Structure 1
Amino acid sequence: MDKNSPPDWDPRSEAVLNDQMTTYDDMRHRCPVAHSRYGYTSLFRHEDVMRVLKDHETFSSAVSRFPSVPNGMDPPEHTVYRRLIEPYFSPEHMNAFAPTCRDVAVRLVQALPGEGTTELMGDFAQIFALQIQCAWLGWPADLHEPLRLWTLKNHAATLARDEAALSAVALEFDGYIKDLLAVRRTDDNAAPDDITTSLLRNQSLGRSLTDDEIVSILRNWTVGELATISASIGILTHYLAANSGLQQQLREHPALLPAAIDEILRIHAPLVMNRRVTTKQVTLGGRTLAKGSRLALVWASANRDEAVFGNPDEFRLDRDPELNLLYGAGIHVCPGAPLARLELRIVMEELLGRTSQIALVSDREPVKAFFPASGFSALPLQIQKPSSRAL
């Protein structure tokens, strides 16, 4: 982008922040490859995003100044670490974790009041995301509150583009993980048999992982999990509260939930964007981008592209799952997708199965989350539980 050229849009303007999805829909038609004053070129069309995802040689994932294993790596380095982490999301691991996941979901749904107004994000979604992530990694319950506060600080620093604050937040997280690793080393053979201990003992690279490598892997998993799982629960529950017929259909036929969850999260993405950088000059959407151009792949727009999905707001259970970019595509497709799908399916099964109605509150509007987050920061709902049935 010519430094003297005016930007095509301002992703942090009040108009965008007040209604991200409508803005992205507009940009997809008006300026599908758009420069901003923040140094990123945003891609809004499904076709352009897919081109980037499938060409990792031209569009590098090495965009962060912090180590990012393996998200921020390119082959061949990425291939080695990807092979290391994929077994943790195997069907065997998911089946073994499912009972624990259900126990957490059941306990939190049971704790919801059976009448009156519930603020779903703070009273349920964020708590579930924290507890389920700690349960999966084998982290103690006394990390729940520090991680909750850490998530808020991380989001605030990201929103403010405060480099000093981002560095401090990263160091704080590193400290939590290194403390956990130190305890496990001290305990040696008595250390808990969990994923964190497994990473510490992993020898698939022909050596032990360094603390920095383990911290990076766990940071990537945790940041993504805490933000997207809580956002997804809010988006799903809000959609079902606004569509009572579908809510009842899924309550009566929970086998439809996996496809329904992916479709609702296609309509309203829990993750707004992801980044890449060009390794050479390239043309996208008729615009020539220099080597080193930073790109923002706007999932929230690409997954609503009329050229691929027709009416983007139409809910359909028969869509081709290969077109849905909810978990990305190509070599960087989200390795944690099986875990996310398991957690969202179970939590929605329990939320629907243990309630008789979930409804919006007429006199209290949901509060939309601010970029770079998606979904809702506050979601007041009326939740009714059947009184005649033991839960």
Structure 2
Amino acid sequence: MTDARTLGDTSLRRCPVTHDDSSWTVWGNEEARLVANDPETFSSHVSKHLNVPNGMDGDEHRRFRTVIERYLSDDVIVPLYPGFEELATEIYASMGDSFNANDFGRLVAVRCQSQWLKWPASYENELLEWITENQAATRSGDKRRTKAVAEAFTDIVRRIVTTHEDDESPTAKLRHDTVEENGEQRPLAKEEIVSILRNWTSGDLGSIAYSIGIVAHFLATHHQIAADLRRYDEQGNTDALDRALDEILRIDDPFISNRRKTTKQVTIAGQEIPAGEKVVIHWTAANRDPRAVGYPDAYNPEGNAAHNLVYGSGPHVCPGRTLSTLELRAALVALLRGGNLVLTGEAPREENPVGGFASVPVRRTATNH
């Protein structure tokens, strides 16, 4: 086995689009963007299970995306940032001088998501245990195990939806929200609400945790850039911090892939793909495509911004980008303000199909001013 980043780099050097017995994989930046931006040819309806709105196409996707965006607009999310920063600072202070940055990331992910959705603190341990089990199941490649883990998370969400009483929370508001259908508004069905909350949380909890581990590893191995970011933080230059986060995650993207299915025959990079074929967009490889970004490990936030696909592209571009960015920025500033980071041992990479590091052992030391 190998890690997703090495697999992506190696595969992309052979061809930007490849085929195996079960599916086609798109590795290149331009090719990934082409697939993501053409939902009529590359359908997102790839699962038999309800997936709102990720597994929807066309007008159905538009209608449910409108619902989602009411909860993820900048006007709603940006005011949450001070609370996220306070949480991340408190968690970082509790970690001790030596710690696994992934553990820090898991706590930040769960507590920020719970604060946003106003989920009871009593679910924290269950959610943390679920992240660990979900990562292990994904790592194993055992479909029965991943299905069981997915069902366990659905059960958590159903329990929360059934018992939630805070009328001001997104979770409670979804229970009374509506979606357009045939020119009229109808209430969201319970399973639609559960699916929305699953998509908001199940993928993001693990991905945010891994992202924070990646950011910590980057700071521990790029001290001059860390010093620059610390200065941006002192200046209140949040735009520069957010651009830095995008670039760090472009270099090492834990949001590995999305699936599509062709609705008709199409040619990409000289490869003829028949109708009805499974297509995988490998975002990790696409973000490191030398044809788009030059040397993939070079840190260049401004120069690479136009080619950055960390949050996807097209109509299915991540609606939670602001939320994710603010959670990550809260973790970043806690790390920066806590002193310099140094690695205290090997940081082994996760094996495909999981991204990021299995662990990131670090120690914080005083900064030199």
Alignment of 1:121-136 (within 5 A): 121-122=102-103, 124-136=104-116
* Deviation at residue 204 of structure 1 after TM alignment: 4.2
Alpha-carbon shift at residue 386 of structure 1 (Å):
6.8
The correspondence for 1:244, drawn from 223, 237, 246, is 223
Aligned to 1:208: 187
Per the alignment, in what secondary structure is the counterpart of residue 358 of structure 2?
Answer: strand
The one-letter code of the counterpart of 2:351 is F
User: Does the 8 A contact of 1:202 with 1:209 survive in 2?
Assistant: yes
Choose which of 200, 207, 218 in structure 1 pairs with 2:197.
218
Shift of 1:168: 2.7
Give matches, 1:156-235, under 5 Å.
156-184=136-164, 187=165, 191-205=166-180, 206-235=185-214
Q: Deviations over 1:306-331 (max 9, x none)?
A: 11111211111322533210100110
For 2:194 and 2:11, the matched residues in 1 are separated by 37
State whether residues 179 and 188 of structure 2, in contact with CA within 8 Å, keep that contact through their aligned partners in structure 1. Answer: no
In structure 2, the residue corresponding to 1:318 is in which secondary structure? helix
Partner of 1:365: 346
2:270 maps to: 286
> What code does the residue aligned with 1:279 have?
T
Equivalent residue, structure 2, for 1:11: none
- Letter aligned with residue 202 of structure 1: D
What is the letter of the counterpart of residue 157 of structure 1? A
Q: How many matched pairs?
A: 360
Aligned to 2:100: 119
Name the residue aligned to 2:361.
380
Q: 2:244 aligns with which of 257, 260, 263?
A: 260
Alignment of structure 1 residues 142-157 onto 2, 5 Å: 142-157=122-137
Instruction: Supply the distance in 2 between the matched residues of 1:85 and 1:118 (Cα, whole angstroms).
Output: 36
- Structure index of larger Rg: 1
Aligned mates of 1:68, 1:385 — CA distance in 2: 47
Task: Pick closer, same or farther for the CA change 1:385–1:197 going to 2, 3 Å.
Answer: farther
Amino acid aligned to 1:103: E
Is the aligned partner of 1:93 residue 2:73? no
Identity of aligned residues (%): 36
- The correspondence for 2:53, drawn from 56, 70, 84, is 70
TM-score by length of 1: 0.87
**Following TM superposition, by how much is the alpha carbon of 1:385 offset from its aligned partner in structure 2, in angstroms?**
5.0
1:276-320 C-alpha deviation (Å, 9 max, x unpaired):
111111112212112111111111111111111112111113225
Partner Cα distance (2:88, 2:279) in 1: 37
Is the aligned partner of 1:331 residue 2:289? no
CA separation in 1, counterparts of 2:282 and 2:273? Answer: 17
Per-residue CA deviations over 1:119-139 (Å, capped at 9, x if unaligned) read 1112x1111111111111111
Encode CA deviations 1:249-291: one digit per residue, 9 max, x unaligned: 1112222211111111111112111111111111122121121
- Does 1:319 pair with 2:298? no
3-state SS, counterpart of residue 295 of structure 1: strand
Residues 193 and 385 (structure 1 numbering): CA distance in 2 closer, same or farther, change over 3 Å?
A: farther
**Which portions of structure 1, spanning 4 or more consecutive aligned residues, are displaced by more than 4 angstroms?**
none
Answer whether contact 2:135 2:206 (CA < 8 A) is retained.
Answer: no
- Evaluate the alpha carbon distance shift between residue 164 and residue 27 of structure 1 in structure 2; reply closer, same or farther with a 3 A threshold: closer
Which residue of structure 1 aligns with residue 17 of structure 2?
33
- Post-superposition Cα deviations, 1:72-92, rounded to whole Å, max 9, x if no partner, equal 110110000001111211122
Residue by residue over 1:14-47, the C-alpha shift from the partner in whole angstroms, topping out at 9 and shown as x without a partner, is 2x33xx323322221212211234x121111111
Q: 1: distance between equivalents of 2:329 and 2:40?
A: 35
Letter in 1 for 2:37: K
Structure with more contact order per residue of length (Cα contacts < 8 Å, sep ≥ 6): 2
CA contact (8 A) 1:133 1:222 kept: yes
For structure 2, which runs of at least 5 residues remain unmatched after alignment?
Answer: none
Contact kept? 1:101, 1:343, Cα under 8 Å: yes
Q: Distance in 2 between matches of 1:104 and 1:33?
A: 42
SS at match of 1:76: helix
1:342 match: 326
Secondary structure, aligned partner of 1:376: coil
Secondary structure at the aligned position of 2:64 is classed as: helix
Task: Kindly report the root-mean-square deviation, in angstroms, between the aligned alpha carbons of the 2 structures.
Answer: 1.9
How far the C-alpha of 1:373 sits from its partner, in A, is 1.8
Q: Note if contact 1:138-1:192 (Cα within 8 Å) is conserved in structure 2.
A: no
Q: Distance in 2 between matches of 1:260 and 1:299?
A: 18
Gaps of 5+ in 1: 1-13
2:288 alignment partner in structure 1? 304
